[in-house]
């Protein structure tokens, strides 16, 4: 419990967004070392721990049907924006050496095909990237996942990171545990072999929200990568990295 508390303190600390990924990782490893030194005599290694996370990054929608568009004059589609975010995330993953990432597009293979690809790649975790649109007035961040506790834990990590980057001042619209028949349900229920969530960082048909997504694109991508690392330490997937 103390270990989890430490991780959450790090995750929710005011300065975590402004820290580089390297700094955050160094802190995690220190925390992990401390915990390991306290418990190494009675803890058994996590089965399957590889010291590395395999992350699938699914770009929502397709080139032919690119999803919602940001407010004019930006007019950037979900597909185009999230192609950039996915690329930035993959670059960050490569830099940390803690995550092997794969960018997966739904073009020609659909939602089921995309998640099948994630499974074939052996992904531990998958994030599907979107943004919201409604009536140009609504604002906020929401994260969709199944009611599975492992999925929810992963979603909470991603959601908290987004709320911090976009300065939502709290939990914003929250993590939504949805049924398969709900909007986005097919997506989040398509990856039983690992954890996954679908992120809706903002309502980009609102110009203020769209500007925020564009201005904070790099920080947003980094924050999701840090969230995945955070999650990896919390579930023991990166345990090998501290020894």
Binding stretches for Zn ion (CB under 5 A): 60, 67, 78, 130
Query: Is 72 or 183 the residue whose CB approaches Zn ion more closely?
Result: 183
* Strand ordering across the sheet containing 53-59: 99-105, 53-59, 125-129, 195-200, 142-145, 174-177
Q: Which is nearer to Zn ion, 42 or 181 (CB)?
A: 181
CB of 183 to Zn ion, least distance (A): 10
* Residue 154, CA atoms < 13 Å, CB-side half-sphere: 28
Cβ at position 172, least distance to Zn ion in Å:
17
Instruction: Tell the smallest beta-carbon distance from residue 210 to Zn ion (Å).
Output: 14
Which residue in this structure is represented by tokens 């430490």?
Answer: 6
Distance in angstroms (rounded) separating the CA atoms of residues 202 and 210: 8
Residue in the shown chain whose Cβ atom is closest to Zn ion: 130
- Specify the residue, 15 or 108, whose C-beta has the smaller distance to Zn ion: 108
CA distances from 209 to 141, 213, 218 (A): 10, 6, 15
Q: Report the chain's terminal Cα–Cα distance, integer Å.
A: 20
C-alpha distances in Å from residue 49, one per residue of 217, 218, 233, 235: 31, 29, 11, 10
Residue number, 56 or 232, with CB nearest to Zn ion: 56
197-229 CB burial, b ≥16 within 10 A, e <16: bbbbbbbbbbeebbebbeebeebbbbbbbbbbb
Closer Cβ to Zn ion, 117 or 130, answer by number: 130
Quote the least distance from Cβ 9 to Zn ion, whole Å. Answer: 33
Q: How far is the CB of 129 from Zn ion (least distance, A)?
A: 8
67 vs 140, which CB is nearer to Zn ion?
67
Q: What's the min distance (Å) between Cβ of 132 and Zn ion?
A: 8
Q: Please say whether the beta carbons of 189 and 146 come within 8 A.
A: yes
Residue 7 or 129: the one with the smaller Cβ distance to Zn ion is: 129
Cβ neighbours, 10 Å, residue 117? 18
Helical (H) or strand (E) element with 127: strand 125-129
Q: In sequence order, what are the beta bridge partners of 176? A: 144
Give the nearest distance from C-beta 78 to Zn ion in angstroms. 5
């Amino acid at each position: 419990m103390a270990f989890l508390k430490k991780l959450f303190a790090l995750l929710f600390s005011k300065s975590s967004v402004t820290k580089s990924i390297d700094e955050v990782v160094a802190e995690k490893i220190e925390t992990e070392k401390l915990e390991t030194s306290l418990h190494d005599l009675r803890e058994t290694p996590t089965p399957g721990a590889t010291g590395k996370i395999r992350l699938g990054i699914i770009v929502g929608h397709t080139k032919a049907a690119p999803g919602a568009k940001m407010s004019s004059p930006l007019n950037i589609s979900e597909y185009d924006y999230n192609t950039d975010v996915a690329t930035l995330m993959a670059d960050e993953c490569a830099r940390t050496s803690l995550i092997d990432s794969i960018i997966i597009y739904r073009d020609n293979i659909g939602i089921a095909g995309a998640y099948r690809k994630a499974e074939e790649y052996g992904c531990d975790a998958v994030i599907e990237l979107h943004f919201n649109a409604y009536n140009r007035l609504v604002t906020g961040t929401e994260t969709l996942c199944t009611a599975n506790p492992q999925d929810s834990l992963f979603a909470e990590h991603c959601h908290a990171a987004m709320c911090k980057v976009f300065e939502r001042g709290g939990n914003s619209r929250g993590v939504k545990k949805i049924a398969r028949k709900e909007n986005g349900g097919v997506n989040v229920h398509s990856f039983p072999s690992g954890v996954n969530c679908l992120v809706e960082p903002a309502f980009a048909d609102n110009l203020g929200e769209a500007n925020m997504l564009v201005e904070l694109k790099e920080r947003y991508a980094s924050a999701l990568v840090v969230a995945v690392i955070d999650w990896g330490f919390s579930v023991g997937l990166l345990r090998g990295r501290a020894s």
